[in-house]
């Protein structure tokens, strides 16, 4: 039988093309045990059928609920929404009232990110490494601040083809190697046992009786559709190829009544994709089957354990990398005459150095305050000289910098990225702080932005910027918001090296910043960083972003109680990112279904 005939057979078997689940359209997807057959989604006319149905849910009000006594977590207290603080602690400072104007959609069916797909395939098929096939997938459009935002995670017709091609490649690879088959099947040669076990792993729940029967029939058709001469291998190939293209694998779902608790299996998936970035393993699925994830207490206990795993550090490292945009460092370039020791090959090292910094902050139970004030840094022989320290070897080594270099904002990556070939760029340094740390969401002005003029003889970089932006329509934002913050870093040149003079004049790093409790003056990056580290607005912005990442959606007005609760935890001097994540997990917004009627 030809490949096209086999593919046609699989398309007929799958029934519902993945692409119709996109763009808010409705469709069916096989439900788990106990789900109703043929439920309809909201919006356009729904397709019905299958053993269970769901549409990509429309918008609905966020479930805020009320919380009881908060659970105690490492490094801080976890108050329930509306509940009392955990014994021995306090909920922290008063809310900053940070703006919550995101475009949350509350989809009930959300596609796996490409990294989640990669890791899941590796773990399901017992591969030694990531398959690397998603590098050929169509890329995701930018939506929101983070790559896991629900609005970007749908299946286009092109991605549908990508999934099909990848499924064919992987199924052929496994079926063509006896050892690979043995690993995937667990050594069984019984088709029903393989389908039941593998199906639970890949669909992240037990298969229904109807599903088992369907896949048993598909397995039986393998010898005629593949005809390799090995009937069992042919059946395995057909099942793997079909399941890898099923909506039950490609999408993670939260079905049922709005406001109802998630099922144990849904919670296992939610925790695993959040804290491990891959499909739940058998241990987590067994915990779901045993009812251990049916209560908030059980979920928090499991999450507390998972947050200590290396995978959680990697996931939260990606959160910080995306929040601060450190991948931009790969595009850094400098004038070789002005900076003869700069080499573009050090750019990846700048990314890795900040990633190690974030990993250390997370692993030691620290949070936003340490991100802004810690003098910890990672350097090598290539970058140490720019910091004025010494290091031997090409490997990044941990060092403690002086008090003049507190936190991420004084590291080479941030400073060199926000600079030109020759000069520091206080405008972009200020904008970066405002957007990423204070949630100011500044937008570029309409039209073409004129370039800064050349520095005149005897003129400092600060004077040049002030002269160019101090009048006209730009003055409002620049004079009061952007420039003063950026000027705090004027004692760092375009490569991030400390300087005291600029074009023959002493540098001026004074300024003022308006925070939630009023206007504050500062002189230099250390004073600015100290102010930001104690600002409720900065902690509110950080926790808002962390909630966006944890819930994989924008924060909207309905999330006010959630953000207010976790902001106080961040302000607690003993609380770190782990405690904030646990606080979000303990909230109804994470534990319950949120979205329109199905």
Are 14 and 28 spatial neighbours (Cβ–Cβ below 8 Å)? no
Q: Of 58, 56, 68, which is closest to residue 18 (Cα–Cα)?
A: 56
Cβ-based neighbours of 516, under 8 Å, separated by 6 or more: 96, 97, 535, 536, 537, 540
Mean pLDDT in each 10-residue stretch from start to end of the chain (598 residues)?
60 57 38 33 30 30 32 30 30 61 90 96 97 92 84 90 96 96 96 98 97 96 92 97 96 89 96 98 98 97 97 96 96 96 96 97 94 97 95 91 97 97 95 93 71 86 88 73 95 97 96 91 98 93 95 92 86 85 94 74
Sign of the CA dihedral running 525, 530, 535, 539: positive
Which whole-number Å values give the CA distances from 511 to 102, 470, 488, in the listed order? 31, 15, 7
pTM for the full predicted model: 0.84
CA–CA separation, 108 and 117 (whole Å): 18
CA–CA separation, 564 and 81 (whole Å): 9
Taking CB atoms within 8 Å and a gap of at least 24, the contacts of 7-13 are: 7/164, 7/168, 9/221, 9/225, 10/238, 10/241, 10/242, 10/245, 13/214, 13/218, 13/242
Are 596 and 46 spatial neighbours (Cβ–Cβ below 8 Å)? no
Helix or strand run (H / E) with residue 251: strand 251-253
* Residue 135 CB coordination number (10 Å): 10
Residue 316 tokens, joined:
């939260």
Residue 467: helix, strand or coil by DSSP? helix
Cβ-based neighbours of 334, under 8 Å, separated by 6 or more: 342, 416, 421, 422, 494, 495
CA–CA separation, 275 and 424 (whole Å): 38
Are 15 and 248 spatial neighbours (Cβ–Cβ below 8 Å)? no
Beta-strand runs (E) in 3-44: 26-28
Any idea what the Cα angle at residue 424 is, between residues 525 and 316, rounded to 5°?
Answer: 60
CA–CA separation, 586 and 302 (whole Å): 11
CA–CA separation, 486 and 478 (whole Å): 10
CA–CA separation, 352 and 495 (whole Å): 17
CA–CA separation, 106 and 46 (whole Å): 18
Are 16 and 50 spatial neighbours (Cβ–Cβ below 8 Å)? yes
Helix or strand run (H / E) with residue 55: strand 53-55
Helix or strand run (H / E) with residue 76: strand 76-78
Q: Of 399, 411, 394, 376, which is closest to residue 498 (Cα–Cα)?
A: 411
């Amino acid at each position: 039988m030809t490949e096209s005939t086999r593919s046609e057979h699989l398309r007929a078997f799958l029934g519902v093309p993945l692409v119709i689940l996109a763009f808010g359209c409705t469709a069916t997807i096989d439900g788990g045990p106990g789900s109703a057959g043929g439920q309809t989604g909201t919006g356009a006319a729904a397709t019905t059928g299958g053993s269970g149905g769901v549409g990509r849910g429309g918008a609905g009000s966020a479930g805020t609920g009320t919380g009881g006594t908060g659970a105690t977590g490492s490094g801080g207290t976890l108050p329930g929404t509306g509940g009392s603080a955990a014994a021995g602690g306090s909920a922290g400072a008063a809310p900053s009232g940070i703006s919550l104007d995101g475009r949350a959609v509350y989809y009930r069916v959300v596609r796996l990110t490409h990294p989640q797909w990669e890791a899941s395939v590796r773990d399901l098929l017992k591969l030694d490494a990531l398959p690397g096939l998603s590098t050929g997938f169509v890329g995701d459009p930018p939506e929101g601040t983070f790559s896991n935002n629900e609005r970007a995670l749908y299946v286009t017709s092109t991605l549908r083809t990508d999934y099909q091609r990848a499924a064919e490649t992987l199924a052929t690879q496994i079926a063509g190697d006896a050892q690979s088959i043995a690993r995937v099947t667990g050594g069984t040669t019984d088709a029903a046992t393989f389908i039941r076990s593998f199906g639970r792993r890949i669909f992240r729940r037990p298969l229904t009786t109807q599903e088992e029967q369907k896949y048993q029939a598909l397995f039986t058709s393998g010898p005629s559709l593949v005809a390799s001469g090995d009937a069992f291998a042919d059946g395995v190939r057909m099942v793997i190829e079909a399941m890898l293209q099923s909506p039950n694998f490609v999408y993670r779902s939260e079905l049922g009544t709005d406001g109802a608790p998630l099922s144990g299996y849904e919670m296992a998936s939610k925790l695993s994709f959040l804290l491990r970035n891959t499909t739940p393993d058998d241990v987590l699925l067994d915990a779901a089957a045993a009812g251990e994830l049916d209560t908030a207490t059980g979920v928090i206990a499991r999450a507390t354990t998972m947050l200590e795993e290396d995978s959680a550090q990697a996931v939260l490292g990606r959160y910080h990398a995306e929040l601060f945009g450190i991948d931009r460092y790969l595009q850094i370039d400098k004038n070789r005459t002005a900076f003869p020791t700069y080499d573009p090959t050090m750019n990846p090292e700048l990314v890795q150095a900040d990633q190690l910094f974030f990993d250390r902050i997370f692993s030691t139970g620290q949070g936003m305050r340490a991100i802004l004030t810690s003098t910890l840094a990672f350097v090598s022989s290539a970058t140490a000289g720019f910091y004025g320290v010494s290091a031997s070897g090409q490997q990044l080594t941990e060092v403690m910098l002086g008090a003049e270099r507190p936190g991420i904002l004084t590291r080479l990556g941030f400073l060199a990225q926000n600079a030109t070939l020759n000069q520091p760029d206080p405008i972009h340094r200020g904008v970066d702080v405002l957007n990423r740390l204070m949630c100011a969401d500044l937008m570029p002005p309409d039209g073409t932005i004129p370039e800064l003029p050349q520095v005149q003889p005897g003129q400092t970089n600060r004077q040049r910027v002030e002269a160019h932006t101090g009048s006209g329509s730009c003055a409002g934002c620049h004079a009061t918001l952007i420039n003063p913050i950026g000027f705090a870093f004027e004692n760092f040149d375009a490569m991030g090296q400390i300087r005291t003079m600029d074009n023959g004049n002493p540098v001026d790093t004074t300024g003022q910043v308006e925070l939630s409790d009023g206007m504050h003056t500062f002189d230099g990056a250390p004073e600015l960083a100290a102010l930001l580290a104690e600002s409720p607005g900065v902690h509110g912005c950080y926790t808002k972003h962390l909630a966006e990442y944890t819930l994989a959606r924008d924060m909207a007005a309905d999330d006010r109680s959630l953000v207010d609760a976790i902001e106080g935890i961040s302000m607690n001097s003993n609380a770190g990112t782990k405690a904030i994540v646990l606080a979000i997990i303990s909230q109804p917004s994470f534990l319950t279904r949120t979205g329109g009627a199905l």
